[in-house]
Amino acid sequence: MDPTLRRFLPAWRATALAVLRDPGVLLILLLAPVIYGFFYPWPYGTEAVTRVPVAVVDQDGSNLSRQITRFAQASPRIDVRLVTGDEQAARQALWRGEIEGYALLPRDLKRDVARGAAAGVTIEGNGAYALLNKSVLYGFSEAVGTVSAGIEIRRLQATGQSAAQARASRSPLNTQLVPLFNPTEGYGSYVVPAVALLILHQTLLMGCAMLAGTWAEAGRLRAVPAAWLGRLAALSGFGLMTGLFFLGWIFVLQDYPRGGNPPAAVLLLLFYVPTVCALGLLLGCWFRDRERALQVILFTSLPLAFLSGFSWPSEALPVPLQWLGGWLPSTAGIQASLRLNQMGAPLADVLPWLGRLAAVFGVALAGLLRAGRLRSGSYPRR
């Protein structure tokens, strides 16, 4: 047998057994992704926000204001819980959390419309909750816009136009909104495919660092390059299973947008997983303590999410943070995965991200081999 294989295969087998025999590492590398995969998407199962509680402040009391109220009640986005003429009562209900917004139909609304004067409907929403605020604004805007369109069409018909001519005159150019890559415009379809790559990143990083910390505590970091590659291959095997579990099962089970470019998405995992594993082993060699590695890496999840560019545009970050985020494996993995798996981009479009992963892998592997030799005593200690 080739000498390299004689070192590679025992190291691969010993590492796989070490993972299976270590409850802490096994929990993080295998069980945690399974638990996250089933329970993290659960709160977002309804996808789109509907029936948000609202109020209508009707100070006009005309048939026009009542028509707007009826259209608002028919909207699936909002649920009219209160109709009152007192704005202060609606504002108090908003402060108590009973509603998330209200529409103010001012006095003389119908009179202004009949005269052709400018008339406005004020919509107040709870801006502290972006998704609820969006539903309130869209729901009332659609109701008011529908009534307004009907009034304009009737005016045009009064000039002698037919109903079809009036509709064409009122809206000569129509806009058709088609959401790409997230047809339901659901929050789960937006956030889970990106967070799945971050979950994979963090569980691999913590598990590999904990295992390397265990080796350091036991004085077993010493290994030749072939043995380190065997260790890395074993850990990458667990990571690939987790990645395929997310891409090939969880996305199907939750019916998220998927399958845009499956071969390239699998190729991405072959770049992404070994890079994260090598970085995790390097961090474990640096910390030399399994608990410390877990404590430090655990608190990096939220910063990595913001630096990855899916929850906050990276262009809005300071330039140093843009540069840092661009070289993080989590950013490269998330951005490339969204393009390949959700958007169906060709492989050529994500080559820069794959190149960054390859560069980080090379640096991490070189640092890992050097750290292993230094810790093992191959170099004299001072």
Find the CATH number of the domain harbouring 63: 3.40.1710.10
> Phi and psi (nearest 5°) for 300?
-90, -5
Rounded CA separation 172/165 (Å): 10
Q: Where do runs of H (alpha helix) occur along the chain?
A: 3-21, 23-26, 32-39, 63-74, 87-95, 109-115, 130-158, 163-170, 187-218, 225-245, 251-253, 262-287, 290-298, 301-307, 319-326, 329-337, 351-376
66 shares a domain with 16: no
* Banded model confidence at residue 186, pLDDT cuts 50, 70, 90: confident
Tell me, yes or no, whether 229 and 349 share the same domain: yes
Domain that includes residue 35, residue range: 9-44+184-374
What is the pTM assigned to this prediction?
A: 0.83
Contacts for 54 with CB less than 8 Å, ≥ 6 apart:
72, 78, 79, 80, 81, 99, 100, 101, 102, 103, 136, 139, 140
In a domain, 176, yes or no: no
Q: What is the pLDDT of residues 73-132, one digit of tens each?
A: 999 999 999 999 999 999 999 999 999 999 999 999 999 888 878 788 999 999 888 889
325 has a pLDDT exceeding 70: yes
66/161 same-domain check: yes
Q: Which CA distances in Å does 140 have to 78, 118, 148, 158, 323?
A: 8, 18, 12, 27, 42
- For residue 179, tell me if it sits in a domain: no
pLDDT band (50, 70, 90) for residue 133: very high
3-state secondary structure of 54: strand
pLDDT-derived band at 13, boundaries 50, 70, 90: very high
Residue 55 near residue 78 (C-beta atoms within 8 A): no
The pLDDT assigned to 17 comes to 95
Residues 190 and 248 in one domain: yes
Residues 38 and 61 in one domain: no
Last residue of a domain, one of 127, 145, 170: 170
Query: Does residue 213 sit in the same domain as residue 272?
Result: yes
Do 209 and 315 reside in the same domain of the chain?
yes
Structural domain includes residue 382 = no
